[in-house]
Structure 1
Amino acid sequence: MRPRLKSLNTLTTDGTVVIYRRPTERIHLDDPGGGVRALVELLAQGAHEEADLPAELTRLGHPTTAEDVRDAIAALDDLRLLENADADPDAETLRRHESNLRFYDLYADLGRSSGDLHHRLAHSTVLVIGAGGLGGGVLQSLLGLGVARVRIVDFDTVEPKNLARQFVYGAGEIGRSKVAAAAAWARRYAPQTVVEAVEQEVTDAATIRALGADVDLVVLAADQPVGIQLMTNEACFDLGVPFIAGGFKLSTLFYWSVEPGHTPCRLCLELHRDDDLRGRDEWVRSGLRLEADPVNRTTGPVAQLLSGLIALEAQRYLARTEEPVAGGTYQTIEIGDRMRVDATGWERHPDCALCHRSADGGR
């Protein structure tokens, strides 16, 4: 294996080597004799097998042992500063996905390369329910990431008002099936990704189970019919795959995810809400409630921001770069409050039959 220092800014001064892991984070390495600088420079080249480094350092005037080099490399790898130069992707993948691979560099180490992480995306299938501003934006990001297959489901047609925030369509698609128009755009943009257009209304959990029978992840980008979040929750428990949902209400942008067997689920949240209502005064529970007509306030920038955040969460699930940030957690951005960001988690509910079933091994 040829360990290689990632492409990072490095400063060497008398007695110290400084590596900028992030713009706001510096790692200081004591270097009184210059041996650390010599090792870092060799690692930056990525041309030497680990076993050859002690002899190369000795040749440069810094005699050291194989054990010391091994310990130094292990310490740098723990800081995610190294990658395996022998695991570079092929030229075609690098040509098409260079920026994606450089992103994965942030999470790569000697045990898993950026190419390994990309490979997981390149062999994944995602079900996207809804082809509006959110679903279309997620579709765009998934194709850019190089996901192997996307199945997108909707039963709506393109209307003039959609063009304010749904950018996989143009004026020429008005009146056309959304999923057909989205699939046509996808074939032009990224023909290597298979996009299946399913013009169908989602009415129950059974429909979602059938649509997601072979997928690795579900993105719920629709808010109708009523109860679709719980339907998706139930179906994904049966399928054993995670799902992500999000939306924009009043001035609050939000998204969250559920991984069956690992995070609290959407039914847990519903049961907690029922408990909260039972604890309130009778007049709150039985009083007159005026429901406003539904208004879609999602502008193009909001749809793009939300779809990007959901696509990043999808990337975490598919590539396992790191733990998902929205598992059983409402991630919110208050658009009307100077973009205030918050994260609020919920716990498993003791009466949740789905989580209990998952804990019992599906029985």
Structure 2
Amino acid sequence: MQPRLKSIAVVQRPAEVILVGRAMELTYLADPDGSVAALLQILAQGAHPVTGLPAAMRERGFTVTEADMAAAVAALDEVGVLLPADTDAGLDPDTLRRYESNLRFYDLFAGLERPGAAFHRAMRDADVLLLGAGGVGSGVLQSLVGLGAGRVRLVDFDVVEEKNLARQFAYNRADVGRAKVDAARDWAVRYSPGTTAVEAVHERVADAATIRRLGAGASVVVSCIDSPSDIQLLVNEACFELGVPFVTGGLQYSTLFYWSVEPGVSPCRLCLELNRADEGATQEFEQSVMMSAEFVNRATGPVAQLLAGFMALETGRYLTRTDPPVAAATYHTFDLTDGMRTTQEPWPRHPGCTLCHPAPGA
């Protein structure tokens, strides 16, 4: 193993070194004799295995043992500043050119045991069921193709209309009247031939059984549809049976929201429904409604792209496990008319949830 220092800033001050990694994340290392600074300079070259570090240090005037170097490398790996020198090993030249920025993003989460190439391979092996090819769904598709996801089953029953062109950038005027899934599949083939296999499914999702059928073999489900009215509970139920996580989101009046569920790990969507029922909020609100608001789509291009980006990032966390999902059983909201005020509201597991607490033998 040849360790290499990540591309980070290093500040040397009297008797200490500061590693500047992620924003506002500083690691202070005591360095009274300058040996730490010397080691970091050597590691930045990525030219020596751990067993060769003592000799490299001697050339700089420091006497250390192999055990000393092994301990120092382990400590630096623990704080997340090391990579294998061959972190992209095994990837072909075309992949390295096309996905260079993705690989450098994965470096943020990589370490000596799991290099950046491993995250890319996880994405390449992914199988995503994507429900909806509208503003958010087509945006998620574009991100997944850009990330190099292996396969996407794209499900929608709608056709491209001229009004879609303001915010659904996988389509153009020549696609008007075509099935969205066909047009989106063709966009993917043009944009990234030979990478992501997009299967177009022109079908309406009406029940959990349909989702289970479409989701067979999927790694994750991404729901970008808002009908039928209980679609979130249907996806929740199907994903429990499939044993895969799901990500969803949308726009309610002026508020963007997204969240996810990992069956058996996080509280689920049914838990949220039961918690709301316990609070009496749902019933009380429904009884007080004098006039129901008609559906109005306010998702401009930037709004749809913003939401699709957050949902694609969360999907990527499930597929690659770069870091834990941030929206598991946690409502993330962004209010477009209140200075982009954000909130994060987790919900607890409900003791009466039949999915999270199945009856014995069920």
- Answer yes or no: is 1:354 the counterpart of 2:355: yes
Partner of 1:73: 73
- State how far apart, in whole Å, the 2-side matches of 1:179 and 1:298 are: 20
1:303-333 CA distances to partner (integer Å, 9 max, x unpaired)?
Answer: 0000000000001000001110000010111
Query: Residues 1-363 of structure 1 correspond to what in structure 2 (within 5 A)?
Result: 1-89=1-89, 90=91, 91-191=93-193, 192-277=195-280, 286-287=287-288, 289-357=290-358, 363=362
Residue 183 of structure 2 aligns to a residue whose secondary structure is helix
Which amino acid in the other structure matches residue 277 of structure 2?
D
1:109-128 CA distances to partner (integer Å, 9 max, x unpaired)?
Answer: 11100011111001001011
Displacement after TM superposition at 1:58 (Å): 1.6
Displacement after TM superposition at 1:25 (Å): 2.9
List runs of 5+ in structure 1 lacking aligned partners: none
Q: Note if contact 2:128-2:218 (Cα within 8 Å) is conserved in structure 1.
A: yes
Residue 355 of structure 1 aligns to a residue whose secondary structure is coil
List runs of 5+ in structure 2 lacking aligned partners: none
Displacement after TM superposition at 1:287 (Å): 4.4
Output the TM-score relative to the length of structure 2.
Answer: 0.95
Displacement after TM superposition at 1:285 (Å): 5.6
> What is the aligned-residue RMSD (CA, Å)?
1.7
Which amino acid in the other structure matches residue 293 of structure 2?
A
Residue 16 of structure 2 aligns to a residue whose secondary structure is strand
Which amino acid in the other structure matches residue 4 of structure 1?
R
Displacement after TM superposition at 1:277 (Å): 2.2
Displacement after TM superposition at 1:27 (Å): 2.3
Residue 211 of structure 2 aligns to a residue whose secondary structure is helix
Q: Note if contact 1:121-1:147 (Cα within 8 Å) is conserved in structure 2.
A: yes
Residue 10 of structure 1 aligns to a residue whose secondary structure is strand
Q: Note if contact 2:314-2:327 (Cα within 8 Å) is conserved in structure 1.
A: yes
Q: Note if contact 1:254-1:332 (Cα within 8 Å) is conserved in structure 2.
A: yes
Which amino acid in the other structure matches residue 174 of structure 1?
V
Residue 12 of structure 1 aligns to a residue whose secondary structure is strand
Which amino acid in the other structure matches residue 129 of structure 2?
L
Q: Could you say if the C-alpha distance between residues 253 and 63 of structure 1 is closer, same or farther in structure 2, counting changes exceeding 3 Å?
A: same
- State how far apart, in whole Å, the 2-side matches of 1:134 and 1:168 are: 11
Q: Could you say if the C-alpha distance between residues 67 and 126 of structure 1 is closer, same or farther in structure 2, counting changes exceeding 3 Å?
A: same
- State how far apart, in whole Å, the 1-side matches of 2:288 and 2:22 are: 53
- State how far apart, in whole Å, the 2-side matches of 1:287 and 1:254 are: 24
Output the TM-score relative to the length of structure 1.
Answer: 0.95
- State how far apart, in whole Å, the 2-side matches of 1:288 and 1:218 are: 33
* Count of equivalent residues: 359
Displacement after TM superposition at 1:296 (Å): 0.8
Q: Could you say if the C-alpha distance between residues 103 and 287 of structure 1 is closer, same or farther in structure 2, counting changes exceeding 3 Å?
A: closer
Q: Note if contact 1:277-1:285 (Cα within 8 Å) is conserved in structure 2.
A: no
- State how far apart, in whole Å, the 2-side matches of 1:180 and 1:47 are: 49
- State how far apart, in whole Å, the 1-side matches of 2:283 and 2:75 are: 55
Displacement after TM superposition at 1:88 (Å): 2.3
1:101-143 CA distances to partner (integer Å, 9 max, x unpaired)?
Answer: 0000100011100011111001001011000000000000000
Quick one: percent identity of the two aligned structures? 54
